[in-house]
Structure 1
Amino acid sequence: MKHKFTKYLGRVTENLELGFEEKWIYVHYTKGSTEKTACLLKNEKKSEDEYLERFFEENKVSEEMKKEVNKFLKNDKNHNDTHWNEFTNFLIKALSLNMVFGISIALSVYGGFKLGSFLDSQFEIYPTFTLIGTFLGIGIGGVTVYSMVYKYFKSPIKKEKENVKTVNRDLTGNIDHPIIDVTIEEVRRAVRTFSDNLPKGAFRTILVQEDNSIDFKQLASHLGGIPSKKFYMSKETYDLFEESEKLIPIEMDIVQKAVDQYVKERKEYPMLKFDPQRRVNYYQLLQNHYLKAAPETQFYITDLDGLVTHILPQKKNSSQS
């Protein structure tokens, strides 16, 4: 889910777009003619506002925008940390339902008892029907209480799973989707749309199968069919790849995890100093046991807070001022 913020600073409009994923925070910022996009990798135990603070300072985000974002993050945390309110509601609900439970069981037992007594008086075999009616009333009362408990105290986790199942309904449905030809850019747009509509707590990695191929049954409604060829996705960076590059996402996930762990423990990137290409130094990762074997693909460390890429970075033009 993406969140947009807008501030009007005189003649200049300031826009900020935030997207929160499991592994990183997507940021798109514009202010007048200035435009900046970044992916802040969440590889440390920091809050979301701490990750954004550095970006705000580097790009001179206005104080008004900072306050609005911080207010949003604070309200979001308060919305998530509702344990006290939930506990209070639980007590109110429990006390009210306890009264209902007691009345339900009492009426069921009393009704069973009276019915049994009446039958005993008619057939003169006391206390046979009285006992049967009493136990039958206890049983009916127990079933009634169980139904109430199941209805009113249904697990939130179960509800969340049901939401995810609703999103993934195509997986179990018998819908016949046509086979279509699509480009990787069309797949990328479909993945973004799918991700934006996911329930809270679910991430686009649910699209990725064991071999890193994309499960297009979940994307069929966004694409208009099932692609005629496979596409693959990295679980760590969400980069997309075609069939000819299917080994890259597997190696990319391994290398990204190794780089994240290296940075977390050593506070520096595993690359040679002054390397203009910012290549991931596999020797450093192998020597310190972050990797078991050197990948076939050469990866590079981007400017997006430690995310790796297989694309060779372009040389910066030194003549530009």
Structure 2
Amino acid sequence: MRHKFTKYLGRVTENLELGFEEKFIYVHYTKGKTEKTACFLKNNDKTKSEYIEAFFEENNVSEEMKKDVRKFINNEKNFNEEHWNEFTNFLMKTLSLNMVFGLTIALTVFGFYKLGSFLDARYGFEPWLTVIFTFIGIGIGGLTGYVMVLKYFKKPVNENTQKDYDLQKERNQTTDYPIIDVSLDQVRKAVRQFSDNLPKGVYRTIIVQDDNSIDFKQLANILGGIPSKMFYMSKETYDLFEENEKIIPAEMDMVQKAVDLYVKERKEFPMLQFDPNRRVNYYQLIQENYLKTTPETQFYITDLDGLITHIRPEKKKMNNSSR
């Protein structure tokens, strides 16, 4: 889900687009002719505010824009607190009805026990009828408790966005779409549009199949058909690839997970010191058991907070003027 903020600073328009994905935080910022895009890999040790504040400082974002974004993030925190309050109310409700459940089950078991004892005493089958009826009481009491749990605590799925998504997905599965030719850029735009319309907590990786190919039945209504050739996506970085590069996304997911774990445990990147290309050092990852085999593709660590890429970085040109 993307969130857009706009400010008018005299003749200059300031725009900021903020997106919270499953793996990273996306920021696109424009101010006049200035344009900056950043992608921060999420770290459990950092809050969303810390990432955004660092971006503010680096790009001289206006105070008015800062206030709006901070307010939005704080409101999101309050929204999370509301969920906590819902859980608290749920817990209190559980505790208040706990005695009802316990009493129901206890009375059921006791009633069947007494019935079994009465029949044993009358017909001389002691203690078999008592045992049998006690187990029957336990079963009926447990079933009664289960029914009560379903009735009082099962949360109905009433999110309109979730319903709309399910209906659209079902419609896409049953509709016959034409076979069309599309470019990688068209697929990229369709994936972004699909992601922006997903319910909260659902991520674009749901369109990625086990072999990293894209399930275009879920994108058919956006593209207007089913592509004539296959496209692939990395589940970790969301990069897209064509058929001739289909080996890359699977290896990228494997290496990205290894790099993330290595950085988390060792607080440094797995690459050789002073390497201008910032190549991922597979020897380090294999030696420390973060990887089992050496990938065919060479990956590079970007400046985007630990995200990797298969594209070799261009050599930076030396400028005579100092900055």
Q: Is the 8 A contact 1:184 1:241 kept in 2?
A: yes
Q: Which runs of 5+ in 1 are unaligned?
A: 95-145
Tell me the residue number matched to 2:170: 169
Shift in CA distance, 291/157, structure 1 to aligned 2, threshold 3 Å: farther
Give the percent of matched residue pairs that are identical in Structure 1 and Structure 2.
71
Question: 1:217 is paired with a residue of what secondary structure?
Answer: helix
Question: 1:71 is paired with a residue of what secondary structure?
Answer: helix
Q: State the shift of 1:210 in Å.
A: 0.3
Q: State the shift of 1:320 in Å.
A: 6.8
Tell me the residue number matched to 1:139: none
Shift in CA distance, 189/83, structure 1 to aligned 2, threshold 3 Å: closer
Residues paired across the two proteins, number: 269
Distance 1:231 1:277 in 2: 28
Distance 2:196 2:50 in 1: 24
Q: State the shift of 1:189 in Å.
A: 0.7
Tell me the residue number matched to 1:80: 80
Tell me the residue number matched to 1:193: 193
Q: State the shift of 1:50 in Å.
A: 1.7
Residues 211-249 of structure 1 deviation map (CA, whole Å, 9 limit, x = unaligned):
000000000000111111110000000000011111100
Distance 1:161 1:31 in 2: 35
Q: Is the 8 A contact 1:44 1:264 kept in 2?
A: no
Aligned AA (2:33): S
Q: What are the within-5 Å matches in structure 2 for residues 230-269 of structure 1? A: 230-269=230-269
Q: State the shift of 1:33 in Å.
A: 2.8
Tell me the residue number matched to 1:6: 6
Distance 1:287 1:260 in 2: 16
Q: Does 1:305 align with 2:305?
A: yes
Residues 80-134 of structure 1 deviation map (CA, whole Å, 9 limit, x = unaligned):
321466479879x99xxxxxxxxxxxxxxxxxxxxxxxxxxxxxxxxxxxxxxxx
Q: Is the 8 A contact 2:25 2:42 kept in 1?
A: yes
Q: Does 1:178 align with 2:178?
A: yes
Q: Does 1:56 align with 2:56?
A: yes
Alignment TM-score, normalising by the size of structure 1: 0.75
Distance 1:28 1:40 in 2: 12
Aligned AA (2:66): K
Residues 252-306 of structure 1 deviation map (CA, whole Å, 9 limit, x = unaligned):
0011111111111222211122211111111111122111111110001112111
Distance 1:252 1:87 in 2: 38
Q: Is the 8 A contact 1:163 1:199 kept in 2?
A: no
Aligned AA (1:65): M
Distance 1:164 1:222 in 2: 13
Tell me the residue number matched to 1:216: 216
Runs of 4+ off more than 4 Å: 87-91, 156-164
Question: 2:237 is paired with a residue of what secondary structure?
Answer: coil
Tell me the residue number matched to 1:286: 286
Please identify, of 192-201 and 72-81, the stretch whose mean Cα deviation from structure 2 is larger: 72-81
Aligned AA (2:260): D
Distance 1:71 1:266 in 2: 35
Q: State the shift of 1:13 in Å.
A: 2.8
Distance 1:273 1:157 in 2: 52
Q: Is the 8 A contact 1:170 1:218 kept in 2?
A: no
Q: Is the 8 A contact 2:213 2:233 kept in 1?
A: yes
Question: 1:4 is paired with a residue of what secondary structure?
Answer: strand
Tell me the residue number matched to 1:126: none
Q: State the shift of 1:7 in Å.
A: 2.4
Alignment TM-score, normalising by the size of structure 2: 0.75
Q: Does 1:202 align with 2:202?
A: yes
Distance 2:168 2:63 in 1: 39
Aligned AA (1:28): H
Computed over aligned residues only, the root mean square deviation of the Cα atoms, in angstroms, reads: 2.9
Distance 1:295 1:310 in 2: 11
Tell me the residue number matched to 2:272: 272
Question: 2:60 is paired with a residue of what secondary structure?
Answer: coil
